[in-house]
Amino acid sequence: MLEQPMLFLKRTELKTLSVFIADADKYSGNVLLPASVIFMIPIFLLYLLFSEHLDNGLTWGYHSFRVK
């Protein structure tokens, strides 16, 4: 699969982390494991910040659309 930034970026230091991980066959596990952890940190922090709102929204949807 060819990511779009790979079409016009020639220097590897300008590639985004998702493009870097997409080229996983070129790198060893010593590089990919820290890269994937760094990639997951913002998503995990957003989940921690908004998990209560997510739970409230899911339970509200269940109770409001439940067939009685």
Listed as ranges, residues in the chain with pLDDT below 50 are none
Contact 15, 5 (CB under 8 A): yes
pTM of the model: 0.52
For residue 43, give its domain range: 5-64
The count of domains in the chain is 1
Cα separation, 1 vs 23, in Å, equals 9
Contact 35, 21 (CB under 8 A): yes
Please give the pLDDT value at position 9. 72
